[in-house]
């Protein structure tokens, strides 16, 4: 059996997340269906992480096992020919039989895009959170810096998150102003809780609006009270930029 690693980019607008579901369309389901067409064998993709409904990716990583003799170049060409235009396989390569995209993920880089302007630019309509009121980017950046390191992120998880250990390590949490979209929130860490990045984004926006002090971040990390954090930011502003592999 061969073990093949794929690097995948997708627009998550039309999908109910990455993970296979019995009825709803998912990115994993779309790719597995095309792999079956190409190889004439069922293939189960193992993704490095699950993105929620509406979340995008530039560098999702997945692997699958197959006894197909199709060269990786043919697989890559065939998949991109069969897949809808909102899913693109960027690379396909044979890897060590023991490679597992989820187990061998050392961390992920997520980016949340905020379009801070009166009118929304058309190309960003499905890929940025449109906010008209001015945001204090400096206050947001100061607050984001407090998230770096190992902390208890219980206040930054969805109500239905079932993880018993809510401690996570972030290596980067930055807010930068850029021409066009307005603000980019970049978060890199070893692992994430459900909706963690989106709740961080929502909290930083409340700080940028002046409704919260940057000091709230330290308080939330200490008391773990989700009710005191900001709202969960819309899914369409979030993208998985890169998976860091061991």
| 118/11 same-domain check | no
| 203/181 same-domain check | yes
| 160/91 same-domain check | no
Rounded to a whole number of angstroms, the distance between the first and last alpha carbons of the chain is: 22
Query: Could you tell me if residue 214 is inside a domain?
Result: yes
| 72/117 same-domain check | no
Residue with tokens 């369409």: 236
Domain final position from 95, 130, 149: 95
Residues with a known catalytic role = 52
| 87/111 same-domain check | no
Distances (CA, A) of 131 to 39, 108, 117, 160: 46, 26, 6, 27
Query: Could you tell me if residue 119 is inside a domain?
Result: yes
| 160/219 same-domain check | yes
Indicate which CATH number applies to the domain containing 45.
3.30.70.580
Query: Could you tell me if residue 171 is inside a domain?
Result: yes
Indicate which CATH number applies to the domain containing 147.
3.30.70.660
pLDDT of residue 122: 66
| 111/82 same-domain check | no
| 123/234 same-domain check | yes
pLDDT of residue 235: 97
| 140/233 same-domain check | yes
pLDDT of residue 125: 76
The residue range of the domain holding 50 is 2-95
- Please name every residue paired with 174 in a beta bridge, in sequence order, or none if there are none: 186
| 133/73 same-domain check | no
Mean pLDDT per 10-residue section of the chain, whose length is 246 residues: 98 97 96 98 96 97 98 98 98 98 98 88 82 95 98 97 97 92 94 98 98 98 98 98 98
Domain final position from 95, 114, 134: 95
Query: Could you tell me if residue 223 is inside a domain?
Result: yes
pLDDT of residue 180: 76
Instruction: Give me the number of domains the chain comprises.
Output: 2
Query: Could you tell me if residue 122 is inside a domain?
Result: yes
Q: For the chain, where are the E strands, in sequence order?
A: 2-10, 46-47, 56-66, 87-95, 105-116, 129-131, 149-152, 167-178, 182-189, 238-245
Query: Could you tell me if residue 101 is inside a domain?
Result: no
The H or E element containing residue 80 is helix 72-82
| 191/237 same-domain check | yes
Distances (CA, A) of 34 to 82, 134, 170, 185, 216: 6, 45, 36, 34, 47
Label residue 81 exposed, middle or buried (CB < 10 Å: 0-12, 13-18, 19+): exposed
Query: Could you tell me if residue 100 is inside a domain?
Result: no
The DSSP secondary-structure symbol of 235 reads G
| 150/130 same-domain check | yes
Domain final position from 95, 126, 145: 95
pLDDT of residue 156: 98
Query: Could you tell me if residue 232 is inside a domain?
Result: yes
């Amino acid at each position: 059996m061969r073990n093949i690693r794929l690097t995948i980019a997708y627009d998550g607008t039309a999908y109910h997340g990455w993970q296979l579901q019995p009825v709803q369309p998912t990115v994993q389901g779309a790719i597995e269906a095309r792999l079956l067409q190409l190889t004439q064998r069922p293939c189960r993709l193992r993704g490095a992480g699950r993105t929620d409904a509406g979340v995008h990716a530039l560098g999702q990583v997945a692997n699958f096992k197959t006894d197909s003799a199709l060269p990786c170049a043919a697989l890559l060409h065939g998949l991109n020919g069969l897949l809808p235009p909102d899913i693109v396989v960027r690379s396909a390569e044979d890897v060590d039989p023991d490679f597992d995209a989820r187990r061998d993920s050392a961390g992920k880089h997520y980016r949340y895009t905020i379009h801070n302007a009166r009118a929304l630019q058309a190309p960003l309509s499905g890929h940025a959170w449109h906010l008209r009121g001015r945001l204090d980017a400096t206050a947001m950046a100061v607050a984001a810096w407090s998230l770096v390191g190992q902390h208890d992120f219980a206040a930054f998880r969805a109500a239905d998150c079932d993880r018993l250990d809510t401690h996570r390590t972030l290596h980067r949490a930055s807010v930068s102003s850029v021409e066009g979209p307005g603000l980019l929130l970049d978060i890199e860490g070893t692992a994430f809780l459900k909706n963690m990045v989106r709740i961080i984004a929502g909290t930083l926006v409340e700080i940028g609006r002046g409704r919260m002090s940057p000091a709230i971040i330290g308080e939330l990390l200490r008391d773990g009270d989700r009710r005191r954090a900001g709202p969960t930011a819309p899914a369409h502003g979030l993208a998985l930029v890169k998976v860091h592999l061991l």
